[in-house]
């Protein structure tokens, strides 16, 4: 009987140990399932990026690279809620591209010199930042159709409209321009001209009205907008010229699908006259924020 009970006792001990071992294996199996789920989620991001031919590396987002220090094309403002916002002509265009693609726009603000490298590396999907189509840029990234040609106008008091009918007539005169702009570069090329460089176009207009400057160089859509609101000013027949070839959008080299979508949106906006409206609106916002 002692042997029998001893044998039964050993069997019970072995059974208990086996059940405990099975329970431990089940717990480990559960932990492994949780870990694998996490790894699976992490591995889906590269898969989505690799299979994404639109350049959208984050699924439902279109990531814009820009350097938001170039009003009216891209610049910071304080919104009605008190938070910082990036707005401007290029931002309006980017929003339209994202909308046409059914994406949410995400803006990454960085130094201008970093933009094309960020694009080539895939950390942004497109670059819109007053980008001119220089040949060296076309070697690094693909460039869209030109979306904005910076046509310029000479604005003067109405009484001086005939006096300043040519660019030569502005030589040696005092000319108002926006600081850091294409217009400032044009003014520097006028022989003997004395430039009054100001941050706000509204201040340039005031300088004209008060007679502190003889003329101003302003982008045509912006000039036309101010002339509708300010009496006593006129656009002359003088035609400023610039070596700038207009502005384009950069897309990663070889991403033809995204480029097709970008150009389609640009064509739609140009045909509807929307880009000129973006120019006017952005300049008004910039002036309001500076008050």
Q: What is the pLDDT of residues 203-229, one digit of tens each?
A: 999 999 999 999 999 988 888 888 888
* Cβ neighbourhood burial of 9 (10 Å; 0-12, 13-18, 19+): exposed
| Tally of structural domains, the chain | 2
Domain annotation covers residue 54 = no
Q: Same domain, yes or no, for 66 and 117?
A: yes
Q: Classify residue 189: in a domain, yes or no.
A: yes
pTM reported for the whole predicted model: 0.63
Two structure tokens written together for 263: 């150009």
One domain, residues 144 and 163 = no
- Using 50 as the pLDDT threshold, list the residues of the chain that sit under it: 1-58
Residues 143 and 158 occupy one common structural domain: no
254 and 139 in a common domain:
yes
Whether residue 103 lies inside any domain: the answer is yes
Nearest-angstrom CA–CA distance, 219 and 279: 9
Report DSSP letters for 170-222, one per residue.
Answer: GTT-EEEEETTSHHHHHHHTSTT-EEEEES-HHHHHHHHHHTSSSEEEEEHHH
At 252 the three-state DSSP class reads coil
Q: Are residues 76 and 142 in the same domain?
A: yes
Specify whether 175 is located in the same domain as 210.
yes
Same domain assignment for residues 98 and 160: no
Look at residue 96 in the predicted model and tell me its pLDDT: 98
Residue 283: what pLDDT?
Answer: 86
The C-alpha R_g of the chain, in whole angstroms, comes to 31
* 212 and 81 in a common domain: no
Determine the structural domain holding residue 205 and report its residue range. 152-235
Structure tokens given for 267 = 């064509």
Picking from 152, 155, 154, 133, the residue whose alpha carbon sits closest to that of residue 144 is 133
- Same domain for 137 and 156, yes or no, is no
Q: What is the pLDDT of residue 290?
A: 59
Residue 58, SS3 per DSSP:
coil
255, 126: one domain: yes
Q: Do 143 and 212 fall into the same domain? A: no
In a domain, 45, yes or no: no
Query: CB atoms < 10 A from the CB of 17, how many?
Result: 10
What's the token pair of residue 199? Answer: 């941050």
Q: DSSP readout, 111-154? A: -GGGHHHHHHHTSSSEEEEEE---HHHHHHSEE----B---EEE
Whether residue 16 lies inside any domain: the answer is no
CATH code of residue 203: 3.40.190.10
């Amino acid at each position: 009987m002692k042997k029998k009970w001893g044998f039964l006792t050993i069997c019970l001990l072995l059974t208990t140990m086996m059940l405990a071992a099975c329970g431990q294996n089940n717990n480990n199996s559960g932990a492994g399932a949780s870990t694998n789920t996490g790894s699976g989620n992490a591995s889906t991001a590269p898969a989505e990026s690799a299979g994404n031919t639109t350049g959208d590396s984050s699924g439902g987002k279109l990531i814009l690279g820009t350097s938001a220090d170039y009003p009216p094309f891209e610049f910071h403002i304080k919104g009605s809620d008190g938070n910082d916002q990036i707005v401007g002509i290029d931002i309006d265009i980017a929003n339209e591209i994202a909308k046409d693609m059914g994406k949410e726009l995400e803006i990454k603000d960085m130094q201008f010199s970093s933009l094309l490298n960020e694009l080539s590396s895939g950390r942004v999907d497109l670059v819109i930042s007053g980008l001119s189509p220089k040949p060296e840029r076309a070697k690094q990234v693909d460039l869209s159709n030109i979306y904005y040609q910076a046509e310029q106008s000479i604005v003067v008091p109405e009484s001086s409209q005939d006096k300043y009918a040519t660019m030569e007539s502005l030589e040696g005169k005092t000319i108002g321009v926006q600081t850091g702009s294409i217009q400032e570069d044009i003014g520097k090329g006028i022989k003997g001209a004395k430039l009054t460089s100001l941050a706000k176009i509204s201040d340039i207009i005031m300088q004209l009205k008060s007679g502190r400057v003889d003329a101003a160089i302003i982008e045509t859509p912006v000039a036309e907008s101010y002339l509708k609101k300010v009496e006593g000013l006129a656009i002359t027949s003088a035609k400023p010229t610039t070596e700038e070839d207009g502005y384009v959008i950069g897309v990663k080299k070889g991403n033809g699908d995204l480029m097709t979508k970008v150009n389609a949106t640009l064509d739609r906006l140009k045909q509807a006259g929307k880009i000129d409206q973006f120019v006017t609106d952005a300049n008004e916002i910039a002036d309001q924020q500076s008050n």
